[in-house]
Amino acid sequence: MMLDEDDDCPELVPIDTQPGPPVGQIPVTIITGYLGAGKTTLLNYILTEQHNKRIAVILNEFGEGSALEKSLAVSQAGELYEEWLELRNGCLCCSVKDNGLKAIENLMEKKGKFDYILLETTGLADPGAVASMFWVDAELGSDIYLDGIVTVIDAKYGLQQLAEEKADGLVNEAARQIAVADLTIINKTDLVTEEELKEVKDTVRVDLSEVLDLHSFDSKDGANLAEKLQLVKSTRAHLDKSILTVTFEIAGDLSEDALNAFIQDLLWEKIFCNKEGQPMSVIRLKGIVSFADKGHQVMLQGVHELYELNETQQLWEENPRINRLVFIGRNLDKDILQEKFVSTVLLGSEKN
């Protein structure tokens, strides 16, 4: 049979190489980084710089500190936070797969579309697990797609966090967070010397190549859905179980001097021990506190042995003056911390 070239030659159709995000899909950027690295600071910066986009911000919650985490974030960013997402079991990686994407989609149904979604993971999250559910879901026809992962590294404590040995021989959280990063931001450069900064940069590069295979985890290759879900499942045990969160709320006013002494005993002198006699070691400290002579709420922020107390814009006014504190670290004991706090820092208690 002869082919009539003019009639039968099929039309050339461009191959769908990099289709890009389907029209109407909303980009999500995951912001990750170890406890206190500066994720929320980066978020606030983006939100204050970027005025003409509707940005939804999702904050992950950690442990029982959820209520405080929320109130802290809200008071820092004021009205810039568009909406809030409640994720049930405290850890985004574990809960978002089941209800997180659904929650985002519900949110968009209620509030209309966003131009952008920023998602801050907890400092102990494995962002690979968070990232993977986006492309798992993409196959199920989602409205959102993963645009990239930004990892914030603490120039002062980053190396220490990377060097941390995990008992089970697993790659530690800090290294995982760097491994999956599309963009790495070294933060707090004001706290280190040129040489220290160079060391951080070099280490981050080396680490990247050592754990690069983690990237396969979030690649959009042809692996079938079941395999992908398998991967998500196998990384569930990502939280460092030795790190505990303690939170408490105490009504009343505090002595500023006594609070400083309490924090310094805890962070610097490390004189507090748990019931087993092991010294408490705090990685992250946050709080809203009330001083008798101040009408404004004061925010406490601590990362390892650095801490600061800053007056916020927020007035107590008729709100009950309740001090809220979150401690994240090792060997923490709530009863002991709270007892110490109440007996030495709270005004009007026996010892003050």
Ligand X SMILES: Nc1nc2c(ncn2[C@@H]2O[C@H](COP(=O)(O)OP(=O)(O)OP(=O)(O)O)[C@@H](O)[C@H]2O)c(=O)[nH]1
Query: Using DSSP, how many helices (H) and how many strands (E) does the chain show?
Result: 12, 10
Pairing of the two strands 244-251 and 322-330 = antiparallel
41: contact with ligand X by CB under 6 A:
yes
Among 29, 40, 177, 290, binds ligand X (CB under 6 A): 40
Closest by alpha carbon to 58, among 114, 110, 18? 114
Rank residues 254 and 303 by Cβ distance to ligand X and give the closer one.
303
| Residue range at the interface with Zn ion (CB under 5 A); choices 38-46, 47-55, 173-181, 278-286 | 38-46
Residue type, position 83, single letter:
E
SS3 199: helix
Query: How far is it, in rounded angstroms, from Cα 166 to Cα 284?
Result: 19
| Residue range at the interface with Zn ion (CB under 5 A); choices 36-44, 191-199, 273-281, 339-347 | 36-44
Rank residues 36 and 128 by Cβ distance to ligand X and give the closer one.
36
Among 123, 127, 128, 158, binds ligand X (CB under 6 A): 123
191: contact with ligand X by CB under 6 A:
yes
Closest by alpha carbon to 288, among 97, 133, 69? 69
40: contact with Zn ion by CB under 5 A:
yes
Rank residues 40 and 235 by Cβ distance to ligand X and give the closer one.
40
132: contact with ligand X by CB under 6 A:
no
Count of residues touching Zn ion (by CB under 5 A): 2
SS3 245: strand
308: contact with ligand X by CB under 6 A:
yes
301: contact with ligand X by CB under 6 A:
yes
Rank residues 42 and 345 by Cβ distance to ligand X and give the closer one.
42
b/e for 63-94, b at 16 or more Cβ within 10 A?
bbbbebbbebbeebbeebbeeebebeebbbbb
322: contact with ligand X by CB under 6 A:
no
